[in-house]
Structure 1
Amino acid sequence: MGNVNSLPNKCEELEALVRSDEAYLVSLYLLTESWLTDGIPDSAVSIPGYTLVRADRAVELCGKTKGGGLAVLVSNKWCHPGHITVKNKTCTRDVELLVVGIRPYYLPREFSNVVAIVVYIPPRADPTSACDVIQEAVARIQSAHSEALIIISGDFNHVERLCPPW
């Protein structure tokens, strides 16, 4: 997980680390504050061998023009790109949320699939509203995919203690 504060500026560095450093050879990157917009093509932020799933900040929904945006990079060695689905994208004044369903090549029998939930809560967000949105998304995923491994990660800023432990 990383708060990258402008993914386009970090792509070359991340690509070099993925190629050269075993510590960065992971299956899944969950990224907050990607600063991606409609004007930035996938090709500008893609990393060879990874599938990019992005949720750009929608200014008309969030009311903010700077920062934000979420992205998930999934290793093609871990999961076929055709087995990655976006379950939910939410962008409000109080929270940005990206829910991605992933069916890796191999999973222990106990899990049906993996669901990655990436969250960005801005510093001036209403914590109660943000937690309500997250809790509703988690409950929906738990109901639909009761045997899934659910990973929740992100930038929660000042609301860690207010959200219930999932």
Structure 2
Amino acid sequence: MILFSLSHINARSIISGLDIFRDYFSTNSYDVIGVTETWLTPGVVDEAVALDGYALVRLDRDDGRRGGGVALYIKNKFAYTRLTVTKVYAGFEYLLVRITVNGIGVTVGVVYRPPSSDTTLFIESFENLLSDIIVDTDEIVILGDFNINLFTCSSTTLSYIQRFLQL
């Protein structure tokens, strides 16, 4: 049985709310914390956004646009490996790691889909990503901000979502 705790937050600039972020996660302990919209750039060193007791793995948006970026904070008690996916998946930002929890390999991912990206393209690309990584892991957990309003999306989008939830 896998027992570990996860949390996700859309930071909309982790630096601007860093004190609140650190206070919250110092009193609310999770094994893995996924962060979307970090708004970090390659010029920001890991130590500037470190969280005591956690390793930081991050993927910054590096195309000059403001916003975006994803990160995972992983409790130091877990060994992890950052997964490198050789294919390019359009329409979203993602980061994947493999953690061993109680002898079971768990792939943990954090995903951010900007609201301006095409929903259908995202769903198709995300489904392809999941299909590619599912063969190499025991369990998969995805955290993130998909920016999909299920109350207003088309029936085609809903059917795509239902399909990838069944993977």
Same fold (TM over 0.5): yes
Within-5 A mapping of 1:4-43: 4-19=11-26, 21=27, 24-43=28-47
TM-score normalised by length of structure 2? 0.79
Within 2, Cα distance between the matches of 1:152 and 1:18? 20
- RMSD, aligned α-carbons: 2.1
Count of residue correspondences: 148
Within-5 A mapping of 1:137-156: 137-145=129-137, 147=138, 149-156=139-146
Within 1, Cα distance between the matches of 2:116 and 2:14? 22
Q: Does residue 70 in structure 1 map to residue 73 in structure 2? A: no
What is the SS of the residue equivalent to 1:97? strand
List gaps (5 residues or longer) in structure 2. 1-7, 151-157
Within 2, Cα distance between the matches of 1:51 and 1:96? 20
Q: Which residue of 2 aligns with 1:118?
A: 110
Q: Which amino acid aligns with 1:152?
A: I
How far apart are 1:10 and its partner, in Å? Answer: 2.6
How far apart are 1:94 and its partner, in Å? Answer: 1.7
Q: Which residue of 2 aligns with 1:53?
A: 57
Within-5 A mapping of 1:98-109: 98-104=95-101, 107=102
Paired residues of 2:40 and 2:69 also in contact (CA < 8 A): yes
TM-score normalised by length of structure 1? 0.79
Q: Which residue of 2 aligns with 1:86?
A: 82
Within 2, Cα distance between the matches of 1:91 and 1:34? 21
Within 2, Cα distance between the matches of 1:126 and 1:51? 33
Within 1, Cα distance between the matches of 2:127 and 2:62? 21
List gaps (5 residues or longer) in structure 1. none
Aligned-pair identity (%): 30
Paired residues of 2:70 and 2:112 also in contact (CA < 8 A): yes
How far apart are 1:14 and its partner, in Å? Answer: 2.4
Superposed structure 1 runs of 4+ greater than 4 Å apart: 89-93
